[in-house]
Amino acid sequence: MERIVPAAIMLVLAIAVVVLLWFGWRGRKRRQADVPEPQPFPQDPGRERFRAEGQYVTTTTGGDWLDRLAVHGLGLRTTAGAAVFDRGVLFDRSGSGPLWIPASDLDEVRLESGMAGKFVEREGLVVLAWRLGGLLVDTGFRTRNPDEKNALVAAIEDLMSSGRPQDTAPAQNQEEE
């Protein structure tokens, strides 16, 4: 009997915390209702330049690594593959659907130590700064194999410096020699 009361109190507190977290997440989604939905994965993304497996960490508002985006599944941490194509970057997220970032929307790629509740070794996360509609956002990805993070960054930098082809077939054909 002496253990039942403290256990019941702890259970009630745990339930209260979960309910408060749920209300907070729901409120965040309501405040972010004007955030546009990411573009769908195109039928022809071009050739695949690089692929790495790992963990999609989250997407936050640009420069604010604590302001996680709750809408469109952008704030859900999940296992994923990151693939760099001629026309953009794909995060193929398990359980949350693909996230396509067109090359024309990319602003920067860098290495960071953490964002929104995920902190790792120094420069352990690949972070892409990009434009979602008019909103600057940061998306984090952690490669499963640490040796692949620099190759992923290099592939994205190469994509960004290759003229950022538009999402049209003629623009892609101009890139070919």
How far apart (Å, rounded) are the C-alpha atoms in residues 25 and 156? 32
Residues 24 and 80 in one domain: no
Residue 107 forms part of a structural domain = yes
Q: Which pTM value belongs to this model?
A: 0.75
Residues 52 and 25 in one domain: no
Residues 43, 107, 87, CA angle at the centre, nearest 5°?
20
Residues 121 and 146 in one domain: yes
Residues 168 and 90 in one domain: yes
Residues 64 and 105 in one domain: yes
CATH code of the domain in which 149 resides: 2.30.29.30
Domain of residue 6: give its range: 1-31
> Residue 175 above 60 pLDDT?
no
Residues 70 and 102 in one domain: yes
pLDDT digits (tens, 9 = 90+) for 136-156: 999 999 999 999 999 999 999
pLDDT digits (tens, 9 = 90+) for 90-114: 999 998 889 999 999 999 999 998 7
How far apart (Å, rounded) are the C-alpha atoms in residues 8 and 158? 57
Residue 40 forms part of a structural domain = no
